[in-house]
Structure 1
Amino acid sequence: MAIIDFRFRPNTPEIINGIANSNMFKAACAVIGFDKRKPQPLPEIVAGLDARGVTRCVITGRDSETTYGSPANNPEVLAFIRAYPKRFIGFWGVDPHKGMKSVRELRQAVTEYGMRGASIDPYLAHLRPDAARYYPLYAACCDLNIPVAVTTAPPPQVHGALIDYTDPRFVDVVARDFPDLTIVMSHGAYPFVTEAIYTCLRNANVYMDCSEYERAPMSDVYVQAMNTMIPDKVVFASAHPFIEQADALAAYAAMPLSDEVRRKVLYENALRVLGESVA
């Protein structure tokens, strides 16, 4: 069965060093032993995807320069999709504090560079996802007919990042204000598990992934929801290289999902989010 990974960053030396030395994740990297992650050249990474049956990966950019001073990784995302355009799908990272400059850059990234979506990190921007500064971005996404990935569930060690910034109830507000906007809540809005599920259930335009929390307390509720309430609203994501992609796939292999639901979560739902037909 073909697999689409909806949150993947290649573990090249540049990405590994960028994460380990960033102002946002330095403390978290120390806790999880990120220094043990092995960097690989890009062709070797792609060969590993082939071996695991992963046909495509969404690479989400990040721009948190205003709040944390770290430069955006959008140039690296662009380089990846140019190197392997049939394998990698780029989402442009947006800093809402940069105002209309960021919206113009997003438009250029989509219309000229081939980006397929936008990516925001409200907890790193120190804003709720329904903050007014995001609304020009959401309007642009609707205009460009692209989805937006909203990072929810911040790592515990990120200074300045409040849980309030990731509450899916504020995503619910955005979904109601922008019914034409396709939204993917990354990391399942953990620990707001039931709220995330219900936000997906009551909004046709909201999806989520459960990356990094497939084995956490209450993860069984995610699985129950996949099998019952929202089988069409969850996409597989590994959060590689924070989580090894093989480990994330193993977690899903162990889930008691029906064959139909497994096919939807690992592949078909992602096609729907990307605006592609399901054969």
Structure 2
Amino acid sequence: MGIIDFRFRPNTKETLDGIGNSPMFSGLCDLINFPTMAAQSMDDIVADLKSHEVVKAVITGRDCETTYGAQSNNQSVLDFVDQYPDMFIGFAGVDPHKGMNGLRDLCTAVEKKGLKGAAIDPYLAKIYSNDAKYYPFYAKCCELDIPIIITTGPATLVPGAVMDHVAPRYIDFVARDFPELKIIVSHGGYPWISEMINVAQRNENVYVDLSEYERSPLSEAYIQAANTMISDKVLYASAHPFVDFKTALKTYAELPFTIEVREKIMYNNAAKVLGLPAPQ
């Protein structure tokens, strides 16, 4: 069976340098001694993915120019997708503080440049996920019929970030107000594990990836829930290059999922979100 990786960024030299030198993540990178892998050419990266049965990988853009002065990397996402359209699926990063200009940029990225979704980082925008500034973007995603990734997690050593901005309880409001919007919560809403499980379970339109937190304290609840109450909601995501995708695949091979649930997590649930065919 093929695998869909819902959070992947190619480990080219430009990407690794960009992450390591960013005003948002330089402290985290120092803490974890990033990068832990060598830079590769795009041909080698794609060959590596294929050799491990990864058939599609979602690359998320990021735009936090207003709050952190970091230029949007949406163009690099477009470049990756243009080079390998059969492998990569691009999501456009959104800066909610850009208002109508940001909405126009999202429309152009989807309607004219072929990106397939949107991505937001509320802790980098320094507002809650249910802030009014996001609502025009959620409505536009519904109009364009595209999913949106909401990046969560503890925002370790990110200057000026407030962890509460990405608590799942606020995503619950968004799911209620936009029932047509497919929402993928990246990084599992950690550390609010039980809260995230319930938000995914109670809202038909909420999905979750557990990237980077599959073996964190109390993460056993994620696995229990994936095997029972949210088996149709969990998506495999490696968070490469913060986590080498080969390491992530090994982790998922070892986690105690049932065979049926493993197939859902590694391909079927993501295929449903992305409108891709079921495996033959």
Tell me the distance in 2 between the aligned counterparts of 1:122 and 1:134.
9
Q: Deviations over 1:161-192 (max 9, x none)?
A: 11111100000000000000000000000000
- Contact 1:63–1:94 (CA under 8 A) maintained in structure 2: yes
Partner in structure 2 of residue 205 of structure 1: 205
Aligned counterparts, 1:73-152, within 5 A: 73-152=73-152
Runs of 4+ off more than 4 Å = none
Q: Higher mean Cα deviation, 32-41 or 223-232?
A: 32-41
Query: How far is 1:50 from its partner?
Result: 1.0
Query: How far is 1:156 from its partner?
Result: 1.4
- Contact 2:122–2:165 (CA under 8 A) maintained in structure 1: yes
Partner in structure 1 of residue 180 of structure 2: 180
Q: Deviations over 1:104-131 (max 9, x none)?
A: 1111111111100000000100010000
- Which letter does structure 2 place at the counterpart of 1:113? K
Partner in structure 1 of residue 215 of structure 2: 215
- Contact 1:150–1:184 (CA under 8 A) maintained in structure 2: yes
Structure 2 SS opposite 1:184: strand
- Which letter does structure 2 place at the counterpart of 1:262? R
Tell me the distance in 2 between the aligned counterparts of 1:167 and 1:211.
16
- Contact 2:35–2:242 (CA under 8 A) maintained in structure 1: no
Tell me the distance in 2 between the aligned counterparts of 1:240 and 1:165.
24
Partner in structure 1 of residue 246 of structure 2: 246
Structure 2 SS opposite 1:99: helix
Partner in structure 1 of residue 274 of structure 2: 274
The answer to whether residue 27 in structure 2 is matched with residue 27 in structure 1 is: yes
Tell me the distance in 1 between the aligned counterparts of 2:31 and 2:252.
25
Tell me the distance in 2 between the aligned counterparts of 1:76 and 1:202.
36
Structure 1 SS opposite 2:8: coil
- Percent identity, please: 54
Partner in structure 1 of residue 227 of structure 2: 227
Partner in structure 1 of residue 68 of structure 2: 68
Partner in structure 1 of residue 9 of structure 2: 9
Tell me the distance in 2 between the aligned counterparts of 1:202 and 1:277.
26
- Contact 2:59–2:88 (CA under 8 A) maintained in structure 1: yes
- Which letter does structure 2 place at the counterpart of 1:115? L
Structure 2 SS opposite 1:34: coil
- Which letter does structure 1 place at the counterpart of 2:21? N
Partner in structure 2 of residue 263 of structure 1: 263
Q: TM-score, normalised by structure 1?
A: 0.98
- Which letter does structure 2 place at the counterpart of 1:43? D
- Contact 2:123–2:155 (CA under 8 A) maintained in structure 1: no
- Contact 1:122–1:151 (CA under 8 A) maintained in structure 2: yes
Tell me the distance in 1 between the aligned counterparts of 2:28 and 2:63.
18
Structure 2 SS opposite 1:256: coil
Structure 1 residue runs without a partner (length 5+)? none
Query: How far is 1:275 from its partner?
Result: 2.3
- Contact 1:206–1:233 (CA under 8 A) maintained in structure 2: yes
Query: How far is 1:258 from its partner?
Result: 0.9
Tell me the distance in 1 between the aligned counterparts of 2:28 and 2:163.
16
Tell me the distance in 2 between the aligned counterparts of 1:254 and 1:243.
16
- Which letter does structure 2 place at the counterpart of 1:53? E
Tell me the distance in 2 between the aligned counterparts of 1:44 and 1:275.
28
- Contact 2:123–2:162 (CA under 8 A) maintained in structure 1: yes
- Contact 2:8–2:57 (CA under 8 A) maintained in structure 1: yes
Q: Higher mean Cα deviation, 149-158 or 94-103?
A: 149-158
Query: How far is 1:51 from its partner?
Result: 1.3
- Contact 1:154–1:161 (CA under 8 A) maintained in structure 2: no
* RMSD, aligned α-carbons: 0.8
Tell me the distance in 1 between the aligned counterparts of 2:202 and 2:97.
30
Structure 1 SS opposite 2:185: strand
- Contact 1:56–1:89 (CA under 8 A) maintained in structure 2: yes
- Contact 1:126–1:162 (CA under 8 A) maintained in structure 2: yes
Tell me the distance in 1 between the aligned counterparts of 2:144 and 2:202.
24
